[in-house]
Amino acid sequence: MVDLNNCEAVLRVPVTEIPDEWFERLSDDEKDSEFVAMQSKTYFEDTWAQFKKNRLALVSLVFLFILILAAVFVPMFSPYTYDGQNLMQRNAASSWQHPFGTDKFGRDIFVRVMYGARISLSVGFAAALLNLIIGVVYGGICGYIGGRFDLILMRVVDILYSVPTLLYVILIMLIFGSNIFSVLLAICVSSWVGMARQVRAQVLSLKEQEFAQAAFVLGASRPRILFKHLIINCMGPIIVNTTLMVPDAIFTEAFLAFVGIGISIPMASWGTMANDARAIIMLYPMQMVWPVLAISLTMLSLHFIGDGLSDALDPRKR
Amino acid sequence: MSSGHYVEISHLDVIYDVTKGIFSPKQLVHAVNDVSFTIDSGETFGLVGESGCGKSSLGRAIVGINKPKSGDILINGQDVTHLHGQSLHAFRQEVQMIFQDPYASLNPRMTIGEILTEPMVIHNLYRSAGEREDRVTELLRTVGLKPDHVRRYPHEFSGGQRQRISIARTLAVNPRFIICDEPISALDVSIQAQIINLLKAIQKERNIAYLFIAHDIGMVKHISNRIGVMYLGHLVEVGNSNDVYFHPLHPYTKALLSAIPISDPDIGKSRKRIILEGEIPSPLNPPAGCPLSTRCPLADSTCREMPKLQKFGSHQVACHHINPSDIA
Amino acid sequence: MDTNNLLEVENLCVDFETDQGLVHAVRDVSFSLKPGEILGIVGESGSGKSVSMYAIMGLLASNGIIRNGKITFDGEDISRNAFPNEKAYLHSMNKIRGNKMAMIFQDPMTFLNPLQTIERQIMEPLLNHTSMTKAQARERALELMVQVGIPSPEKRIRQYPHQFSGGMRQRIIIAIALANNPKLLIADEPTTALDVTIQAQILELIRDLTRKSGTSTIMITHDLGVVACLCDRILIMYGGKLMETGTDREIFYSPNHPYTRGLLSCINNPEAEERELVPIPGSPPDLLKPPMGCPFVDRCEQAMKICKIRMPETSVLSGTHQSSCWLNEALRRQKGGRA
């Protein structure tokens, strides 16, 4: 190999003074003709590097992480429970014992907000997961098979989408009763449609790409082409869409709870807490502030994360 | 039915429906129009033509990406246009394809190792993981890449390197016939020759037949035993590559050859070119009769009738105006 | 320095800022162009041929930086450093572009506005840079369309770009470029996207029109055939550096640089007898970490130790022929120039 330590002398001198031994032929081993240019970065590393650049998204991610930890552990270790009433301490203001104060039954609002976070976040993530599965499979199959099959299935989707969500909610409540699963079902019935449409559009264009055709010519089965070649290449939009689905679902749940549909007392979700506080908002406005603050901050941070992800996963930015 | 040729394509038609919307009038593109030719085992057949002439549609019809409207494709005497199940699976091992765009033909989410192992997984070749790894290493060596590249992703490679990975992928199933759909047109000049020579070396070693589709007749001549020239869906001239190249008979082949910029300043600057006037007609609305009649310097009223592919010396040409003195 | 030169470029260096780091796209490139000359710049993708031209025209993407270099055009210093600020630079380049300096691109559709008629687009440079009235500009536009060979110009001038084929669009671009009789025409791969028979038409057109009007032309291409048929003088670029420059006959009949020789041996020459293609092994260099020495070292059959670490100085082979290769120095030593 060429000795690079010794080369300073050769770089500075006039051409005629370069020693003759530098004019010896290089052997093939000393050349590096088949090098591979860039350093290897996996998809995940690359996305994370891009995501980290967005401060707001990073702060939001930290916030969400803390919220999830708090939702899991605060109700476990707190001396209070979500339904433990203490009639001696009704409507108390913030204090060391009760950081967010207590409600009209003397229940600790901090614990109730954290307990509500469990409900709201699980509804949000469960809805997003269901959307992901149904939307990706439906959209993927529609886009891949195409033709008349696609045309009919997409019209079904259009019809589902054209019925107002509230109508589904009322129907589902009538049949299954007012509980958390009905809420989940109601949210999912129409919201996977967006995901399905997006995946279908992506798959429709990806299946014309040469790597998909190469897989076809190699004899790959249809599920293999669909999942290993097509859907894996639209992971970017799918992840972003799923992330943005979480706040949508949380908000829908809160909205339904606020109008009195959904989980039943004494369980708490942010929506029911806001509803409870509504009656006494003129007397104890802080009781309204805490659940609403929780809803807003969670929504905002999830939106920021979604934004950050969509930038980080955007193929045009690399 | 079989005439002993390895591949036999007869009266093949490929038609696309490009109608926009449900209520518009039907619009059909006759991409491949009554094309017949044969390829022998271990031979390279070059298919040349400009964009929209149907050469790629033809290649895609052979591997089943497009369904032909009519006509037969016989490979080893077996019609491959209506295969199912086991025989289709076997056909996929026998016939492979290399694509034009090295940036689109490799799945960006798979490592090189995964890309090269996939065909073996699909066809259940080399059962053990160790054997498959050995085979991947061997394939990478064949195409001149290093075995330690297996964990890299396609975007880390240059265009020429990717095209070599594509070639390795097709070789993974030990095909006997490879359709090369413009495999060099997206590459730099110094890389094109690499790929051509690699394909030739592979052919010599494994006796694979190629259908080499390209628009650069100069490069096609270098790899092909025989050349077919296509224009607007029709095969207008077929012959041995040197005959077609040095003694073209069809006016379109002549124009195509004289349009190549020659890399020799003295000849290039002084040479008289046959320049075809005007543009290639839209395939949606092709001229009646001979497809070249709108641009051909020899066109007259006889050209309103479609000429048949006829034998002239060692060529087959579809033209009413063959000058007997041209025939070598 | 020759004051008769229309364009003079000295020590041009261009970098691009990317996520992976600085890409050194053009490194220390110098050349000149005489009035009426057709200069071909040949190189593969990533050789820096287009980037250097875009730097001259002031059309670099926002992450491109001109590190160094003096550009003199028509006796005027138009390097970025010659202007006090970005605004003054852009303002003066806008006055030059489309007027004294014009360009043709590979893909006509990136240049044509799909929502405007051809008439407006051909008239635009005329109205912007001259004192012509609308009627005069229209007259000139029709004249240009006849010159570039568009049939029935009266009718077609009112049409939109999508109603033209690829070859016709390229003719329109040429008409727009030539509208103000520019002194310099820069053509960036104008025929790469076209079919061979259409390419032949367009090349013929460019040659006839520039010869007639005495316009100097810079032809950027990867196709040696195109330069052989069109150009008087040729620059060969590789890995952001200038490898060899000479007249067409010098480059094609007595190439000096191993890269030039390699390029010529891996293309097909239709008139020559049957021979094997000899490819250049390996792949182009990584411009993020360019080699210290000659960029071609890892693919060169005749590479020497010195090539790894030091870029060769330019050897003058004749008044017009220069090459940057250490082999010339090695040859001189062999002949006994020095012990």
Q: Do C283 and A21 touch (CB under 8 A)?
A: no
Mean pLDDT of C115-139: 90
At residue A93, does pLDDT exceed 90? no
Is the Cβ–Cβ distance between A80 and A52 less than 8 Å?
A: no
Is the Cβ–Cβ distance between A168 and A190 less than 8 Å?
A: yes
Q: What is the DSSP letter of C153?
A: H
Angstrom distance (rounded) from CA C78 to CA C64: 17
Option in A20, A21, A35 nearest C286 (CB): A35
Mean pLDDT of A299-306: 89
Confidence class of residue B98 from pLDDT cuts 50, 70 and 90?
Answer: very high
Nearest CA among B58, B96, B61 for reference residue B208: B96
Confidence class of residue B137 from pLDDT cuts 50, 70 and 90?
Answer: very high
Is the Cβ–Cβ distance between A247 and A163 less than 8 Å?
A: no
Longest Cα–Cα distance in chain A: 100
Supply the pTM of this predicted model.
0.86
Alpha-carbon A119 to chain mean position: 17
Q: For C296, how many CA atoms within 13 A lie in the half-sphere containing its CB?
A: 28
Looking at residue B186, its pLDDT comes to 85
At residue A1, does pLDDT exceed 50? no
**C-beta neighbour count of C116 within 10 angstroms:** 12
Q: Do A40 and B123 touch (CB under 8 A)?
A: no
Question: A215: which chain B residues are within 8 Å (Cβ-Cβ)?
Answer: 107, 118
Nearest CA among C239, C236, C250, C253 for reference residue C321: C250
The strands making up C21-33's β-sheet, listed across from edge to edge, are C21-33, C7-18, C64-73, C76-77
ipTM score for this prediction: 0.88
Option in B106, B119, B152 nearest A211 (CB): B106
Angstrom distance (rounded) from CA C284 to CA C198: 30
SS3 B164: helix
Is the Cβ–Cβ distance between C257 and C311 less than 8 Å?
A: no
The amino acid occupying position C87 is K
Looking at residue A2, its pLDDT comes to 53
Token representation of residue C89: 């630079």
Token representation of residue A45: 């590393």
Looking at residue A236, its pLDDT comes to 84
* Residue A46 distance to chain C (closest CA, Å): 10
> What phi and psi values does residue B287 have, to the nearest 5 degrees?
-65, 155
Looking at residue C213, its pLDDT comes to 87
Angstrom distance (rounded) from CA C59 to CA C93: 9
| Structure-model confidence comparison of residues A199 and A236, the more confident one | A199
Option in A7, A34, A37 nearest C309 (CB): A7
Confidence class of residue A180 from pLDDT cuts 50, 70 and 90?
Answer: confident
Q: Cα dist. A251→A189, A215, C97 in Å?
A: 16, 42, 55
At residue C331, does pLDDT exceed 70? yes
Q: Cα dist. C100→C41, C93, C128 in Å?
A: 20, 10, 13
Looking at residue B207, its pLDDT comes to 93
Is the Cβ–Cβ distance between B15 and B69 less than 8 Å?
A: yes
Looking at residue A265, its pLDDT comes to 67
Angstrom distance (rounded) from CA A155 to CA A159: 6
Question: A228: which chain B residues are within 8 Å (Cβ-Cβ)?
Answer: 107, 110, 118
Is the Cβ–Cβ distance between A274 and A268 less than 8 Å?
A: no
Is the Cβ–Cβ distance between C112 and C168 less than 8 Å?
A: no
- A49-63, A68-82, B109-123, B217-231: which range is least confident on average? A68-82
Looking at residue B91, its pLDDT comes to 93
Per DSSP, the residues of C230-242 read: H-SEEEEEETTEE
Angstrom distance (rounded) from CA B191 to CA A252: 58
Q: Do A35 and C281 touch (CB under 8 A)?
A: no
> pLDDT tens, B282-314?
888 888 888 888 888 888 888 888 888 888 888
> pLDDT tens, C8-55?
999 999 999 887 788 889 999 999 999 989 999 999 888 889 999 999
Is the Cβ–Cβ distance between B65 and B92 less than 8 Å?
A: no
Looking at residue C76, its pLDDT comes to 87
Angstrom distance (rounded) from CA A109 to CA A276: 12
Token representation of residue A222: 């249809």
Is the Cβ–Cβ distance between C47 and C242 less than 8 Å?
A: no
| Pure H helices in chain B | 55-63, 85-94, 112-122, 129-142, 159-171, 189-206, 217-223, 241-246, 251-259, 265-270
The amino acid occupying position B256 is L
Alpha-carbon B29 to chain mean position: 19
Confidence class of residue A3 from pLDDT cuts 50, 70 and 90?
Answer: low
Angstrom distance (rounded) from CA A230 to CA A206: 6
> pLDDT tens, B251-285?
999 998 888 888 888 887 787 777 787 778 888 88
List C15's β-bridge partners, or say none.
Answer: C24, C65
Q: Cα dist. C324→B306, C29, C235, C327 in Å?
A: 57, 12, 12, 9
**C-beta neighbour count of C177 within 10 angstroms:** 26
Nearest CA among C198, C144, C192, C143 for reference residue C168: C198
At residue A52, does pLDDT exceed 90? no
| Structure-model confidence comparison of residues C161 and A101, the more confident one | C161
Query: Scanning the structure block, which residue is given the tokens 């960006």?
Result: B108
- A89-103, A287-301, B159-173, B228-242: which range is least confident on average? A89-103
The chain-wide mean pLDDT, for chain B, equals 88
Option in A210, A218, A233 nearest B122 (CB): A218
SS3 C196: helix
Q: In chain B, which residue's Cα lies nearest the Cα of A40?
A: B152
- High-pLDDT (> 70) share of chain A, %: 90
> pLDDT tens, B25-64?
888 888 999 999 999 999 999 999 988 888 999 999 999 9
Is the Cβ–Cβ distance between C72 and C13 less than 8 Å?
A: no
Q: In chain C, which residue's Cα lies nearest the Cα of A7?
A: C309
Say if strands C322-323 and C241-247 run parallel, antiparallel, or are unpaired.
Answer: antiparallel
List C104's β-bridge partners, or say none.
Answer: C187
The chain-wide mean pLDDT, for chain A, equals 82
Confidence class of residue C339 from pLDDT cuts 50, 70 and 90?
Answer: very low
Token representation of residue A60: 């939001």
Question: A219: which chain B residues are within 8 Å (Cβ-Cβ)?
Answer: 88-89, 92-93, 119, 122-123
Token representation of residue A171: 């129907």
Q: In angstroms, how far is the first alpha carbon of chain A from the final one? A: 35
State whether residue B268 sits within 8 Å of chain C by CB: yes
> pLDDT tens, A216-239?
999 999 999 999 999 988 888 888
Q: For B304, how many CA atoms within 13 A lie in the half-sphere containing its CB?
A: 2
Token representation of residue C53: 């031209």
Say if strands C241-247 and C233-238 run parallel, antiparallel, or are unpaired.
Answer: antiparallel
Buried b (16+ CB within 10 A) or exposed e, A80-97: bebeeeeeebeebeeeee
Is the Cβ–Cβ distance between C41 and C220 less than 8 Å?
A: yes
* Residue B111 distance to chain A (closest CA, Å): 10
Is the Cβ–Cβ distance between C159 and C167 less than 8 Å?
A: no
Which residues of chain B have a Cβ shorter than 8 Å from any chain A Cβ?
63-65, 88-89, 92-93, 95-97, 99-101, 104-110, 118-119, 122-123, 144-146, 149, 151-153, 155-158, 161, 166, 169, 173
Is the Cβ–Cβ distance between C103 and C177 less than 8 Å?
A: yes
Angstrom distance (rounded) from CA A178 to CA C290: 68
State whether residue C280 sits within 8 Å of chain A by CB: no
Mean pLDDT of C237-251: 93
- Subunits with at least 3 CB pairs below 8 A relative to chain B? A, C
Is the Cβ–Cβ distance between A107 and A84 less than 8 Å?
A: yes
**Is A61-317 a domain of CATH 1.10.3720.10?**
yes
Nearest CA among B244, B50, B217, B162 for reference residue C191: B50
Token representation of residue A184: 């989940």
Q: Do C299 and A31 touch (CB under 8 A)?
A: yes
Angstrom distance (rounded) from CA A62 to CA A85: 33
At residue B179, does pLDDT exceed 90? yes
Convert chain A into a string of H (helix), E (strand) and C (coil): CCCCCCCHHHHHCCHHHCCHHHHCECCHHHCCCCCCCCCCCCHHHHHHHHHHCCHHHHHHHHHHHHHHHHHHHHHHHCCCCCCCCCHHHCCCCCCCCCCCCECCCCCEHHHHHHHHHHHHHHHHHHHHHHHHHHHHHHHHHHHHHCHHHHHHHHHHHHHHHHCCHHHHHHHHHHHHCCCHHHHHHHHHHHHHHHHHHHHHHHHHHHCCCHHHHHHHHCCCCHHHHHHHHHHHHHHHHHHHHHHHHHHHHHHHHHHHHHCCCCCCCCCCCHHHHHHHHHCCCCCCHHHHHHHHHHHHHHHHHHHHHHHHHHHHHCHHHC
Confidence class of residue C98 from pLDDT cuts 50, 70 and 90?
Answer: confident
Is the Cβ–Cβ distance between B215 and B186 less than 8 Å?
A: no
Confidence class of residue B1 from pLDDT cuts 50, 70 and 90?
Answer: very low
Q: Do A214 and B145 touch (CB under 8 A)?
A: no
Q: Do C281 and B268 touch (CB under 8 A)?
A: no
Looking at residue B40, its pLDDT comes to 93
Alpha-carbon C127 to chain mean position: 27
Question: A24: which chain C residues are within 8 Å (Cβ-Cβ)?
Answer: 304-305
Mean pLDDT of B136-157: 88
> pLDDT tens, C279-310?
888 888 877 777 788 999 888 888 888 888 88
Phi-psi category of C189—alpha, beta or left, where left has phi over 0 and alpha has psi -120 to 50?
Answer: left
